[in-house]
Amino acid sequence: MNIAFIPVRGGSKSIPLKNIKEINGKPLVYWTARAANDASCIDKVVIATDSSEIKEVVSSFGFEKLEIFDRSPQNASDTASTESVMLEYLEAAKHNKDDNFFLIQATSPLLKAEHIDKIFQKYIKSNADSIFSAVIEKQFKWLIEADGSVKPVNYDYRKRPRRQEFEGLAAETGACYINSVGNILRDKCRLSGRITFCELPSYTAYELDEEADWIIVEQLLKIYS
């Protein structure tokens, strides 16, 4: 079984009830819920929330694969990790350890069903233990040291490569991760074992954390949704 898991909580401080705030005519969580529901590889979509308001909104979507999991208050606090609610659900649900668990982030509404299917196909073909969605960044990166000095991370500034010859870095988008249920229960982490990545279009890297992000992502949704 392939389970898509979307954790959402009601206590966002940057944008109150962010996960059900309307963007491009729909609540934010609608976009990733629809993508997961429409992905051919997904058997079940689980939205984990502590909020009665969010549950009411999510229930109105009418997606056939979707069910709601009541996450505990301690796993919906400002300090709770995503891994804590993943483990809470998996320990309660008792899924087969060989089942595949897709962690999907509601604040990445530009993720589409076709992207989820693409990530899963790469996961299967690569024979990796876990995989994450990524975009390729070709900027030259520098690490800032404690004293304010910098050192190059991904290139030699004395032998600056041409852009066409530069592999760049795979940057996590945070939109989607896949691992087995057994690995997550054992390692307590969304990624483990032999890890690979799946490259997605650059626009999928946008996340919604602050009010200003809404303007950019809403326009992108009008183009790509």
Active site residues: 160
CA distance 1 to 97: 10
CA distance 96 to 163: 46
Q: What residues pair up with 100 in beta bridges, in sequence order?
A: 2, 180
CA distance 223 to 25: 14
Q: What residues pair up with 136 in beta bridges, in sequence order?
A: 170
3-class secondary-structure state, position 207: coil
- Tokens standing for residue 128: 């990796």
Q: What are the residues whose beta carbons fall under 8 Å from the beta carbon of 16, sequence distance 6 or more? A: none
- Residue 141 CA, distance from chain mean position: 24
- C-alpha separations of 183 from 69, 94, 127, 129, 135 in Å: 21, 14, 14, 8, 25
* Structural contact between residues 58 and 19, judged by C-beta atoms closer than 8 angstroms: no
Amino acid at 9: R
* Structural contact between residues 96 and 134, judged by C-beta atoms closer than 8 angstroms: no
